Every structure is written in C-alpha cells, then in structure tokens.
Structure 1
Amino acid sequence: MINRDEYLQKVKNHIDQWNQDLKQLEAKAEAAQADAAAEYRKQLEYLREMRDDAAKRHAQMQEAAGDAWKEVVHSIDKTWDAWVDAFGQMRDKLKG
C-alpha cells in the first residue's frame, strides 16, 4: 500500500494536472460557437467544483489519521474517477 506522504503528493500532482487540463479546456470552450460555449462553461464549472473539492480533501488528508484517513482516501479516489470521466466527456465534445 502507498504510504501517506506518497499519496498526498500523488493527490497534489493530480490537482496540478487538473489545473492545466482546465486551462486547456477553457481555451477550447472560448473558441466554440456561442450556443455550445454556454454548455461548455457549465461543464467547466462542474470540473472546477470537483477540483476545488479535491483540494479541500487534500487539506483534510494532511490532518487525518486512522479511519478518517481511509475515509478521505476513498473519497478522493472517487472524485478522481469522476473527474476522469467528466474531463474525457468534455474533451470528446470539444473535439467533435
């Protein structure tokens, strides 16, 4: 099993990557047609909320111990899975 410090760094790296991904998607959304741009902005807001939630949980993880640690790890893993799905869907829409 991955140790605490490695996991915290992994989460921070994910959040940093999400920030880069969001910047790329924002640029593509801005270039989209006006009718599609509104939908993209809505989806971007959802992705930002997920990123913010992950950042909040990362801060909680730094303080968590025992069962609380396991709970936060499980929660952040679920957030990561949801991010991958949502990001992939939006990226595909912007390609199409």
Structure 2
Amino acid sequence: MDEKEAYQQKLNAKLDEWKAEIEKMQAKAKTAEADAQLQYQDYIEDLKKRRANLEKELEELRDTQTAAWDDLKSGADKAWKAMSDAMDDAWRRFG
C-alpha cells in the first residue's frame, strides 16, 4: 500500500468515526432542553457541512494523479484539522 492509499484509508476511518459522533450528538440533542436543542442543532449542522466538505476532499484525492496529490493532501489536512477542532469544541460544550 502506498502513502496515498494509506492516507485515504485513515481519512475514511476518521470520517466514519465523526459520523458516529455526530449521530451521538443528535441523540443527545433530542433529550436536551429546548434552548440546548437549538444550540445542538447549530453545531450538528456545522459539523455535517464540515464532514461533507472533507468527503469531497477525499473524493478529489482519489481521483487525482500522483503529481497533484501533495497539493490536494495539504488542503485535506487543513479541512481535517478544522473538522477535528470543531468536533472537540462541540464535545466540550455539549459532552
């Protein structure tokens, strides 16, 4: 397995993990007070958008040739970091 394939597998695994965490947040939001539910929903929608953007980055990585891979990987790394930070922040606030 080359570096590109390993990176893609790692990103896929993290996307699956984040999807499960978002689903946990959604379940927790259903049992929260009305005000808290609204806050949860705002965070959840933001996380879903970030995750979708990261999925798009992964698709671009899959389709790219080796020469352009480093450039696209840099963008995916930034999106990954932003998503990770957003998940951490959401759990700190609502976990």
- Please state whether the residue corresponding to 1:86 is helix, strand or coil: helix
Aligned residues: 94
Alignment of 1:43-58 (within 5 A): 43-58=43-58
Tell me the residue number matched to 1:42. Answer: 42
Q: Which amino acid aligns with 1:61?
A: L
Alignment of 1:7-26 (within 5 A): 7-26=7-26
Q: Which amino acid aligns with 2:24?
A: Q
Distance in structure 2 (CA, Å) of the matches to 1:10 and 1:55: 12
1:83 maps to 2:83? yes
Q: Which amino acid aligns with 2:87?
A: F
Q: Which amino acid aligns with 1:94?
A: F
TM-fit CA distance, 1:28: 1.3
Residues 46-76 of structure 1, C-alpha deviation per residue, up to 9 Å, x if partnerless?
1001111111111111111245311221111
- Structure 1 range deviating more: 62-71 or 22-31: 62-71
Distance in structure 2 (CA, Å) of the matches to 1:63 and 1:77: 17
Distance in structure 1 (CA, Å) of the matches to 2:30 and 2:12: 27
Identity %: 27
Distance in structure 2 (CA, Å) of the matches to 1:94 and 1:31: 12
TM-score, normalised via structure 1 length? 0.88
Distance in structure 2 (CA, Å) of the matches to 1:93 and 1:32: 13
Tell me the residue number matched to 1:74. Answer: 74
- Structure 1 range deviating more: 17-26 or 67-76: 67-76
Distance in structure 2 (CA, Å) of the matches to 1:56 and 1:18: 15
Provide structure 1 residue ranges, at least 5 long, that are not aligned to the other structure. none
TM-score, normalised via structure 2 length? 0.89
